[in-house]
Amino acid sequence: MAFFIFSTTAIAQETGQRDNRTMLAKVQSLDLESVREGVVVHYKPGYKERAEKLGPLLNDAIQFFKKELGITQQFHLALVDSLDWIQISSSPYGLPHVSGMNDEDPPVAVLPVSGEGTVYDFMVSLDNNFSKNLRQRIQNTGYSWEEISGTMVDLVSLHELGHVYKNAYGIGEPALWFNEFMANYFSYLYMFQQRPELAEIWDITGHAIQEGFEPQYHTLEDFEKRYVKVGVGNYAWYQSAFEMKANPLVEKYGLSFVKRMKEVFPNGVGKIASEKVLEELETNYPGFQEWAQVFKRQ
């Protein structure tokens, strides 16, 4: 599971037969080059510069979590174009996702070969709906909104890595939304402590979605039932809402929140009703119930 998921092949879509190969095996069957930057980046020929940009970023995050959590984690990144995308994934082109969570099925994050696709297009479309304060924050970065939107697609790779470390560290999944919330927490934890300029861009994009998009679905029950089927924009809205809570918690509690979540929701905890999850979070970190009102609007 990830920021945008589903990882079946086009063949499976057409024939109804599931492709049981690991995502790594699917990626390795494509005509891609690769470079090892700590992580292994598989990329379409002609995009080595992008591979050499994202590889070290992910490797730096891996080294950060190795130091802080004592976990050594392998990770692959695949940068593919639209034609290769449909050979390994059933999700629309440009919806980043991760598959694989163990040594037998190594985690592989799949991203568009360049800052393009459905997520990028959605982000760019929000440009006319920002407050004066948000526009000032965007201007202060020195980048255009289009450049920030492209960077945001790149940074989703850290969210995917967050899923991997959440599982590897032993935090369970009492609810789908909690799983996504924690992936955001892990990714922002790294950015805030090691790459504050990227943390600012990530936070800006979250606020931009909250300001610029009106969701059709907004309850946690909708998210649990429909998940990514709420649609690209609506799913991004949920993710940005999770970020609005995760980011300030990172800034206040850092790694201690992660350690507490392992105690509260350990691996194997099983599914728990959203209200019960919120009650447990509220007990440990007051403010969750107030935050959750955004999902109860009329």
> Which superfamily, per CATH, for 10-295?
Neutral Protease Domain 2 (1.10.390.10)
> How far apart are alpha carbons 25 and 38 in whole angstroms?
19
3-state secondary structure labels for all residues of the chain: CCCCCCCCCHHHHHHCCCCCCCHHHHHHCCCCEEEEECEEEEECCCCHHHHHHHHHHHHHHHHHHHHHHCCCCCCEEEEECHHHHHHHCCCCCCCCEEECCCCCCCCEEEEECCCCCHHHHHHHHCCCCCCHHHHHHHHHHCCCHHHHHHHHHHHHHHHHHHHHHHHHHCECCCCHHHHHHHHHHHHHHHHHHHCHHHHHHHHHHHHHHHHHCCCCCCCHHHHHHHHHHHCHHHHHHHHHHHHHHHHHHHHHHCHHHHHHHHHHCECCCCCCCHHHHHHHHHHHCCCHHHHHHHHCCC
Scan for tokens 């699917």, then name that residue: 26
The pLDDT score that the predictor gives to residue 8 is 35
Q: Could you give the C-alpha distances from 99 to 28, 108, 246, 262, in angstroms and in order?
A: 14, 5, 23, 22
Enumerate the β-bridge partners of residue 66: none
> How far apart are alpha carbons 224 and 10 in whole angstroms?
26
The pLDDT score that the predictor gives to residue 17 is 56
> How far apart are alpha carbons 122 and 236 in whole angstroms?
9
> How far apart are alpha carbons 49 and 56 in whole angstroms?
11
Burial class (CB in 10 A: 0-12, 13-18, 19+), 220: buried
The pLDDT score that the predictor gives to residue 95 is 87
The pLDDT score that the predictor gives to residue 18 is 72
> How far apart are alpha carbons 154 and 141 in whole angstroms?
16
- Does pTM top 0.85 for this prediction? yes
Q: How high is the mean pLDDT in each 10-residue block of the chain (298 residues)?
A: 38 53 94 92 94 95 96 93 93 88 88 90 91 96 96 95 95 97 98 98 97 96 95 96 98 98 96 97 98 87
Given a contact cutoff of 8 angstroms between Cβ atoms, the answer to whether 119 and 153 are in contact is yes
> How far apart are alpha carbons 172 and 249 in whole angstroms?
19
For 44, how many CA atoms within 13 A lie in the half-sphere containing its CB? 12
The pLDDT score that the predictor gives to residue 1 is 38
In this predicted model, what pLDDT tens digit does every residue of 166-216 receive, in sequence order?
A: 999 999 999 999 999 999 999 999 999 999 999 999 999 999 999 999 999
Bridging pattern class, strands 108-112 and 76-80: parallel
> How far apart are alpha carbons 279 and 269 in whole angstroms?
16
> How far apart are alpha carbons 138 and 74 in whole angstroms?
34
